A and B are shown apart, each in its own frame.
Chain A
Amino acid sequence: MKKDQNPVNLSDTDDIGNILPAIKGLEHFKVPETYFDQLPGRIHDRIGKESMPGILSLLKKMPYLKPRIVFPLAAAIIIIGGILIFLPRTKDSNRDLVMKQDSSVNMEEYDESYATEAQFEEFSYAYQTLQDSDLTNEVISGFISQNENSVSEQDIAEYLKDQDIDSDVLAEL
């Protein structure tokens, strides 16, 4: 049998100690000062960051939260939230709409007319609930004094006449 001319020596004593005898066992790679003191803390910080539950890891941990449940649920929450946000704004929105429709009306003018309308509603309600006997001089005077800047005595007399108020009461005006 032909002997291997270049046998490979696989003994455990294979080393390059004869070539570089002085370097074995010495560490020539250095680290910044305090590196090994800080490394455990930095690893701990990274573990803390990586273990913060993201949406995906949350879904993995809760297999019953499948997309077919999560997405409709999210859509429903968004719709309900939208309704809750916009619903209380309806009155203001109407106002904004009027403002947009008539850009020639400035805010001061609109507020004035709005106030007049509210005032009118208040007066109408008061008149509807009045009995003839309630219309004493004091009450009428009170109305006149409250609205003397805007309503004359003649106006009130005409109004009471239209409302078929007792002629005796009219005569006293």
Chain B
Amino acid sequence: MAEYSDEELLKLFRNGENPDYAFSLLVRKHQERIYYFVRRMVVDHQDADDVVQNVFIKVWKNLGSFREDSKLFTWIYRIAVNESLSFLKGKRLRSFLSFDDLEAGMLRSLNDDNYFDGDHAMKKLQEAIIRLPSKQKAVFNMRYFDELNYEEMSAILGTSVGALKASYHFAVKKIEEYVSSN
């Protein structure tokens, strides 16, 4: 079956007799990329699963009123970034209230995770990423793993290209320092 473009899926959703089907195709098309972005942000699979479901539920609720100021995937990706940052913020607050440390909890998740098969080097890189501030982590993951260009990242995050370049640069320096010293 030929894959629909985002524009075709949007048209199918809005004008078709079966928006459920169009939405299902949309989820299947983007779920993996969105999942892995979220997973790198929150580390734990169950958390990532919850966040991804929330992302697509928001997409469903707002797809009818999507104004097409940006590409559909950019819009979905922006929802995923915001949901991930909100999740981490909430988890940080809960960790603070329970006298736990968010980063320490995420490192435990990484080490106990049956669904992480990275080698020692990869684990060190993930440990370094976990230690980054949330938004810097998002910038690094978008640039390094998803290979988005700065213009796309700017559209998603609503931040200037210059600020994103600086943020990525500092993230790389912190990671280099952590990996070199460990």
Are A and B interaction partners? yes
Q: Which residues of A contact B (CB under 8 A)?
A: 8-10, 12, 14-16, 19-20, 22-24, 26-32, 35-36, 39-40, 42-44, 46-47, 50
B77: interface (CB < 8 Å): no
Chain B residues lying within 8 Å of A47, measured Cβ to Cβ, are 57, 60
Q: With contacts defined as CB atoms under 8 Å apart, how many contacts are there between chain A and chain B in the complex?
A: 90
B88 contacts chain A at the CB level, 8 A cutoff: no
B24 touches A40 (CB 8 A): yes
Query: Given A10-B166, A30-B116, A32-B115 in contact, is the A16-B57 Cβ separation under 8 Å?
Result: no
B8 on the A face (CB < 8 A): no
B60/A29 in contact, CB under 8 A: no
B13 sits at the interface (CB 8 A): no
CB of B40 closer than 8 Å to a CB of A: yes
Cβ distance B73 to chain A, nearest Cβ, rounded Å: 17
* Shortest beta-carbon distance from B115 to chain A in Å: 4
Q: Is the CB of A29 within 8 A of B57?
A: no
Are B121's CB and A23's CB within 8 A?
yes
Known pairs A14-B168, A31-B45; A42 contacts B122 (CB<8 A): no
- Known: A40-B24, A43-B27; 5 extra A-B contacts, CB below 8 A, are A16-B176, A29-B116, A36-B35, A44-B24, A46-B57
Task: Report the minimum CB–CB distance from A78 to chain B (whole Å).
Answer: 35
Q: Measured between alpha carbons, how far is A49 from B115 in the docked complex, in Å?
A: 29
Please name all residues of chain B whose beta carbon is closer than 8 Å to the beta carbon of A23 when the two chains form the complex: 118, 121-122, 125
User: A43 contacts which of B53, B113, B165, B166 (Cβ < 8 Å)?
Assistant: B53
- Cross-chain contact A30 with B117 (CB below 8 angstroms): yes
B122 x A19 contact (CB < 8 A): no
**Closest B residue to A18 using CB positions:** B176
Whether, in the assembled complex, B92 has its beta carbon less than 8 Å from a beta carbon of chain A, the answer is no
Cβ of B176 and Cβ of A28 under 8 Å apart? no
Question: Which chain B residue has the least Cβ–Cβ distance from A47?
Answer: B60
* Cβ of B36 under 8 Å from chain A: yes
* Candidates B32, B60, B179; contact of A36 at CB < 8 Å: B32
Contact A43 B169 (CB under 8 A): no
A12 with B150: CB separation less than 8 A = yes
Q: In residues 129-178 of chain B, which contact A (Cβ within 8 Å)?
A: 144-145, 149-150, 162, 165-166, 168-169, 172, 175-176
Q: How far is the CB of B4 from the nearest CB of chain A, in Å? A: 14
B32-59 vs A, CB cutoff 8 Å, 1 = contact: the mask equals: 1001100110000100010011001100
A22 to chain B, nearest CB (A): 7
Nearest to A21 among chain B residues (CB) is B121
B57 touches A50 (CB 8 A): yes
Q: What are the interface flags for B99-128 relative to A under an 8 Å C-beta threshold, 1 for contact and 0 otherwise?
A: 000000000000001011111011001100
Task: Assess whether B20 is interfacial by the CB under 8 Å rule.
Answer: yes
Contact A44 B20 (CB under 8 A): yes
